[in-house]
Structure 1
């Protein structure tokens, strides 16, 4: 193996040590793209699966990042962001308060609601919904993911059926529902810790199994009817979630 080896250790640990050493020496700098797995495998005398395991280890340690469709890069120092959850925050859209990046969205109509989503929307399993998948981008890289579901019984056949299409594209659920004469009265959030799966990790450039917070968020109208529900996936190494809760003052 080039650059020496760490005898007695698994091959992927040896490869990871050599990549780590090159980063420390400045051979590869933040932002540099690593050679392909095939090229690295030939250089180190191992198979591509060994290179993959070494890269996944270094991704989990924050030294590398994977970019979907592009390759593996030396990670620049992470900029932590804050997701504000306060009474003053506008909950009408999926983008976090103060988020200055962009997002990409892909909506699909007439998707059958799976049982867990149907329960959250108070509809029957299999009822038709619009599903919208979001990728939130900073410096052109995904930093947060979300999937939103809306019953077509509410928006079907209207100009606001697609959250990111039509005359109110991107205006958020409050404005879109107001167009239909529906008032969004409240939102409920249920955060819980999760580990990202392989597809999520690939999109976010982090290792499979990395820690994240999943917020199950549902909007309701004045009568308590669910209008939309979403799963918002927030990588733990990139975001601080801040809840600012006002307390009643004495005598109130």
Structure 2
């Protein structure tokens, strides 16, 4: 195989996709054994395994211990729209997002005050590494099913002496970062989001009810006040098999 040719497992994965698209096997059908496919393609069983694992991650196939590999039932994928509009509806943006889809949005959260900021988080917040923050981890649910994860960081130099120091406690618990910051005189005027594809870690997979290595979208989000100061940053993890993330922008007249 030449250096410019794709790896064997990629070639086989592409051909298996074609055969699935051509309905050679229907939903629930068992594929030929790895040994049979290896003989058919003229490769070793390990190459076939890697090709099938790729399609399992994509949700096209599923492996059943002791039974083989089967054509998976198509996953239902909903669209999650992120826009400035989501911050203007009041209350929790996530709950409002889910309400627009006709689903009940709930979450569980755990906050840790006085948590030193790691280097990367400190850089995003524009603070010194090790500066104390409130770290809050979230598990979000749509109709009681895992929907997304988030880990949020807020400098204690901003909220430490306020009644809204802990996001899920106090008078504005659960209302969202924008409303909480506004209550202490800080107006958030800009949100920056950087989406990056990634593979689910074992911990993320356990919490989201997916497989380790499944595709996820990690959104690095930061909120800024009118002076350009970062007041919060978070990493939001969305399972790709369940959600298509779309961005909506206002088009201003010239």
TM-score range, shorter chain: 0.5 to 0.7
1:98 corresponding residue in structure 2:
97
Q: C-alpha offsets along residues 178-226 of structure 1, whole Å, 9 cap, x if unaligned?
A: 2211111111000111111111011111111111111000000110100
Return the alpha-carbon distance in structure 2 between the equivalents of residues 63 and 135 of structure 1: 27
Q: C-alpha offsets along residues 14-52 of structure 1, whole Å, 9 cap, x if unaligned?
A: xxxxxxxxx949xxxxxxxxxxxxxxxxxxxxxxxxxxx
Question: What is the DSSP-based 3-state SS (H/G/I as helix, E as strand, rest coil) of the residue aligned with 2:157?
Answer: helix
CA contact (8 A) 1:79 1:238 kept: yes
TM superposition shift of 1:135: 0.5
Structure 2 residue corresponding to 1:83, chosen from 80, 83, 86:
80
Structure 1 residue corresponding to 2:167, chosen from 163, 169, 184:
163
In the TM superposition, 1:212-223 aligns within 5 A as: 212-223=216-227
Pair 1:178 & 2:175 matched:
no
Q: CA RMSD in A?
A: 2.7
Q: How many residues align?
A: 189
Return the alpha-carbon distance in structure 2 between the equivalents of residues 117 and 234 of structure 1: 20
Runs ≥4 residues deviating over 3 A? 56-64, 75-79, 91-94, 246-249
In the TM superposition, 1:53-132 aligns within 5 A as: 60=57, 61=59, 78-90=75-87, 93=92, 95=94, 97-99=96-98, 100-132=104-136
Q: TM-score, normalization: structure 2?
A: 0.67
CA contact (8 A) 2:168 2:174 kept: yes
2:235 corresponding residue in structure 1:
231
Q: TM-score, normalization: structure 1?
A: 0.67
Return the alpha-carbon distance in structure 2 between the equivalents of residues 153 and 246 of structure 1: 34
TM superposition shift of 1:157: 2.2
Runs (5+) with no aligned partner, structure 2? 1-26, 30-52, 63-71, 99-103
Which is richer in helix?
2
Pair 1:206 & 2:210 matched:
yes
